[in-house]
Structures are given as structure tokens and as C-alpha cells.
């Protein structure tokens, strides 16, 4: 469940940054108290933006780790 309200003051969070691959919001911030929750990282998008991977290689590396 995505956070929509600030955990400190209850204000509505605003968009801070988007994922470079899928363009979904990954970082929010509170305009009132400047609280910034942890960035939401998309594993698949992170792997895509790094070295080129095939889906099979991604699965093999995740299983090996």
C-alpha cells in the first residue's frame, strides 16, 4: 500500500522523483515538514538501467544470490 500521507504531520505527500525506466513515482516528500520516506526501488527497472540483461539471466542471478 503506497504512502499518501506524511507519517510526521499528516499532510499529503508530493512527488519528488520518478523511475527513469517506468516513470512511476519512487520518491515522495512532505511539503510541510520536509519528511522524505525511503525511496521505492523497482528491482527490475534497476537491473534494466544497469548492464543489459535478459529476463532469464536476471532469474538465474537472483536464484544464485
Quickly list DSSP for the chain. ----B-TTT-PBPEEEEE-TTT--EEEEE-TTT---PPP---HHHHHHHSS---HHHHHHHHHH-
Q: pLDDT value at position 12?
A: 94
Q: Is residue 3 part of a domain?
A: no
Number of domains in the chain: 1
Q: Is residue 1 part of a domain?
A: no
Nearest to 26 by CA among 35, 37, 34, 10: 37
Q: Is residue 27 part of a domain?
A: yes
Q: pLDDT value at position 51?
A: 54
Q: pLDDT value at position 22?
A: 84
pTM (whole model) above 0.85: no
Q: Residues 9-64: pLDDT tens digits?
A: 999 999 988 888 888 888 899 999 999 888 887 777 766 665 554 555 545 554 54
Q: Is residue 8 part of a domain?
A: no
Q: Which domain holds residue 32?
A: 14-64
42 torsion bin: left (phi>0), alpha (psi -120 to 50), beta (else): beta
Mean pLDDT of 4-10: 89
Amino acid at each position: 500500500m503506497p504512502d499518501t500521507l506524511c507519517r510526521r504531520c499528516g499532510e499529503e505527500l508530493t512527488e519528488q522523483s520518478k523511475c527513469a525506466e517506468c516513470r512511476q513515482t519512487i520518491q515522495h516528500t512532505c511539503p510541510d515538514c520536509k519528511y522524505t520516506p525511503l525511496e521505492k526501488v523497482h528491482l527490475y527497472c534497476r537491473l534494466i538501467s544497469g548492464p543489459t540483461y535478459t529476463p532469464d539471466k536476471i532469474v538465474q542471478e537472483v536464484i544464485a544470490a
